[in-house]
Structure 1
Amino acid sequence: MIEFAYSLPIMIALGFGGLELVNYTTVHLRVNQIAISLADNASRAKQEIVGGNPRFRELDANESIRAAFLQGGNLDLKENGRVILSSLEVNDDGGQWIHWQRCGGDKTYPSKYGPEGTGETGTAFQGMGSGTRQVQAESNFAIMYAEVFYDYRPVIFGELIPEQTIYKTAAMYVRDDRDLSGVFNPAPAAPVSSC
């Protein structure tokens, strides 16, 4: 009994520490999956047009962002984070260009690659991503680039894993031909999820 009493606080601390690490790892995985799903959903969304290329609408952007919040579930991503969806394309000079950008969430994190319009002219903007993971669009194609920020709060031990912002990205080529002239908003108009 005495040995058990001495070891109980250590065992409790180890058990709760293990729970905190599991929760932290699980949140990282979930935020990563949300980024992948956001980019994938936006790369597939379209409105078919008779005699023309399909169009991406404000409604499609809103629904992709809403799906990310629903996927977040009890993470409360809308209140505790920010999702940014960018369309990476090639500008008239052959450089990379963030043609448009849509955001959602109550936090105010900006894109790590700049606002909508970054790289509109010239070739100075190299693309999105870092190091060997940088992506670049090809001419007449677009890449849906998703950024997800999430403010992680520890469950038990703040000293073990302090509060921090988890940041994940994902990129997907647009699956089919798409009218890349912009984001369309046919009647009935949907609200614009501007950044």
Structure 2
Amino acid sequence: MSVIAALRRLLGNASGVAMTEFALGAPVLMLAGVYGVEQANFVLVNMKIGQLAVHIADNASRIGDTSQLKNRKIYESDINDVIIGAQIQAGKAVNVYKHGRVFISSLEVDAASGNQYIHWQRCRGAKAVNSNYGDEGDGKAGTLTGMGPAGAEITAEPGDAVIFVEISYTYQPLITGSIVANKEIRSIAAFNVRDSRDLTQIYQRDALKPDPVQACGAHKGEVILDAGGAMN
């Protein structure tokens, strides 16, 4: 068989077309699938972080004892319950305290000056990041107009408090980190305190056996409860 005849026979042979097309198209389809799955997961995690911020702010605005005769006191154990609940809601896949940081702030009005200030702030999370909107004590000198994005700050009313929650989270890729360029997720939420609250301080239920304080100077990660139910 001549070379020309062999080439003509090869050109007319269509038995391997489907396999060739699959070999050429499969990598493209796989890449598109991976891209779609990663982007969808990023959107889902973003939504979860937003819902988590709302969940924390809502719960922190409701905590306190149930006395009908005086303003409701809040306790460090109440804050700890909110922190634990947030970890449960976020789930192990997100692991918000390992890969992120939560800031819970009580925005109030200073009775003496009338200034907006952050009376107290509690934090949890191993991520080394600062709040975008202020730290405990900020505003006493009149430098705080509220909390939130510039031009859309949230403010408290005299004698009342606003619970402002901020979450900073680093997205953990499901498949590859090359698809999502900006992995930083930030979300905020705020709720007015629901009932008349004792704004003096956060109390300890038992001064002789105080509950852990979620101070912002520490960078504690995932909450671990011991056999007695006490948190780290």
Fold shared per TM-score above 0.5: yes
How far apart are 1:51 and its partner, in Å? 2.9
Unmatched tracts of structure 1, length 5 or more: none
Distance 2:68 2:43 in 1: 47
Question: Is the CA contact 2:74–2:202 (under 8 Å) kept in the aligned structure 1?
Answer: yes
Match status 1:45 vs 2:66 = no
Structure 2 residue aligned with 1:59, among 41, 66, 77?
77
Residues matched between the structures, number: 194
Match status 1:131 vs 2:183 = no
Question: Is the CA contact 1:100–1:117 (under 8 Å) kept in the aligned structure 2?
Answer: yes
- Please name the residue that 1:189 is paired with: 210
Report the secondary structure of 2:66's partner residue: strand
**TM-score, with length taken from structure 1:** 0.94
Structure 2 residue aligned with 1:5, among 23, 47, 51?
23
Unmatched tracts of structure 2, length 5 or more: 1-17, 217-232
Question: In the TM superposition, what whole-angstrom CA distance separates every residue of 1:138-190 from its partner, at most 9, and x where no partner exists?
Answer: 11110000111111122223222136221111000000110011111121521
Match status 1:95 vs 2:97 = no
Question: Is the CA contact 1:144–1:173 (under 8 Å) kept in the aligned structure 2?
Answer: yes
- Please name the residue that 1:14 is paired with: 32
How far apart are 1:114 and its partner, in Å? 2.1
- Please name the residue that 1:85 is paired with: 104
How far apart are 1:10 and its partner, in Å? 0.6
- Which structure has the bigger radius of gyration? 2
Question: Is the CA contact 2:134–2:147 (under 8 Å) kept in the aligned structure 1?
Answer: no
Structure 1 residue aligned with 2:169, among 150, 156, 167?
150
- Please name the residue that 1:36 is paired with: 54
Segment drifting more, 162-171 vs 54-63: 162-171
**TM-score, with length taken from structure 2:** 0.79
Q: Kindly report the root-mean-square deviation, in angstroms, between the aligned alpha carbons of the 2 structures.
A: 1.4
